[in-house]
Amino acid sequence: MARTVRTAPATNVRVNAPTIFLASALASALPLALVGCGHRDQPQTFAAAPPESAVGTTKIHEPEKLWSIETGKTDALGAPLRVACVTCHTLRVPNALPDKPEELKEFHRGLQFDHGNNKCGSCHVVGAQDSLRLADGRTIPMRDALVLCGQCHGSQLRDYKAGAHGGMSGHWDLASGGRLRNHCVDCHDPHVPKFTPSTPVLPPRDRHLGPPVPHEGGPAIPRLSQAGSKGGHS
C-alpha cells in the first residue's frame, strides 16, 4: 500500500475504498488480491535519472555581422543598392563622432535613434567600426555587446544570466542537449531598443462569440511564418 501511495497518488483514491470495505467485511488480505487490485496498482515506471554531467552547452546566438549598409538608392535592376562598410571605413580618415545621427553629412543619415541620452560616442569607437567602447574606455568586439548593454541595464543582465530574461530554444535539461539563447540585439534594436507595438497572432474563434470562418483547406494561420522569426519587432 505504501508503495502505491508513493508512486501513483491517483490510483490510491480508487484502491482505498475497496480496501476499507473488504478489510472490514472479510478481515483478510487474501480476498483483496483475488478481487484483482493486482495489475491495476502497477507502480509508475520511471525513466532513468538524468546523468550528473551536462552534455549540452548554452550558446548565445551570434547576430549576423553587418558587412554593408543601404544607400537608399536602387541599381539598374531596381534592387536596393548597398555599399560595403570597408568602402569608406578603410580609405577615409575618420572624423570625430557626432553627438546625434542628424549631424552626419553622408552615410548613416536616416538612422533612427531613441535610446536615452546616449551619444554615438557612448558606444562606438572612432576608426574601429567593429568594436564597442565600454564606459571605462576598454574596447570590446561587437559580438560581446551584452557586456556593454549590462553597464546600464544591470538588472536585465542579472536576469539574463539567471535564465529569466530573453528568449531561448532547445533544452531545459542540459544533460539532454544544448540550448540557444537570444542576444540582446536579437530582440532590441540598440538604436531604438523599445519594442514597437505589434498585431497579435491567432485571434480566438469562439464557437459562440466569433463569426463562423469557412475552412478552405489552405493554411488556416496565415501569420505562421512570423512565429519563427525572433526579433521581428525591431
Partner 1 sequence: MSAAHDEKQPRRVHLKVLGATLGAGAFAYAMAPLRAWTKNISKEEFLQRHYKELTREELAKVIQRLEAETKRDYGRDVTIKDPKPREGVEFGYALNLSVCIGCRKCAEACHVENNHDRRTNNSYIRVLEMEQGSFDMERGNVQYDGPVPKPGKFYMPVQCHQCDNAPCTKVCPVQATWKEPDGIVVVDYNWCIGCRYCEAACPYHARRFNWQKPEIPAEQVNPDQGYLSNRIRPQGVVEKCTFCLHRTREGKLPACLEACPTGARVFGNLLDPNSEIRWVLEHKRVFILKEELGTRPRFFYYFDV
Which residues sit opposite 83 in a β-bridge?
69
With binding defined as CB under 8 A, does residue 213 bind partner 1? Answer: yes
Hey, what amino acid is at 106? E
Task: Single out the residue of 5, 23, 83, 220 in contact with partner 1 (rule: CB under 8 A).
Answer: 220
Task: Give the residue with the Cβ less far from partner 1, 115 or 179.
Answer: 179
With binding defined as CB under 8 A, does residue 104 bind partner 1? Answer: no
Nearest CA to 167 out of 88, 234, 229 is that of: 229
What does the alpha-carbon distance between residue 205 and residue 194 come to, in Å, rounded to a whole number?
A: 31
What does the alpha-carbon distance between residue 22 and residue 5 come to, in Å, rounded to a whole number?
A: 19
Strands 179-181 and 58-60, by their bridges, are: parallel
Task: Give the residue with the Cβ less far from partner 1, 102 or 216.
Answer: 216
With binding defined as CB under 8 A, does residue 217 bind partner 1? Answer: yes
What does the alpha-carbon distance between residue 104 and residue 102 come to, in Å, rounded to a whole number?
A: 5
Hey, what amino acid is at 226? Q
With binding defined as CB under 8 A, does residue 165 bind partner 1? Answer: yes
Task: Give the residue with the Cβ less far from partner 1, 50 or 80.
Answer: 50
Q: Is 97 helix (H, G, I), strand (E, B) or coil?
A: coil
Task: Single out the residue of 79, 215, 222, 225 in contact with partner 1 (rule: CB under 8 A).
Answer: 215
Q: Is residue 40 within a helix (H) or strand (E), and if so which, with residue range?
A: none
Q: Candidates 64-72, 82-90, 110-118, 167-175: pick the segment binding partner 1 (CB under 8 A).
A: 167-175
Q: Residues in the site for partner 1, rule: CB under 8 A?
A: 7-11, 13-14, 39-40, 42, 44-50, 155, 159, 162-173, 175-177, 179, 182, 187, 195, 197-207, 209-210, 213, 215, 217-221, 223-224, 227, 230-233
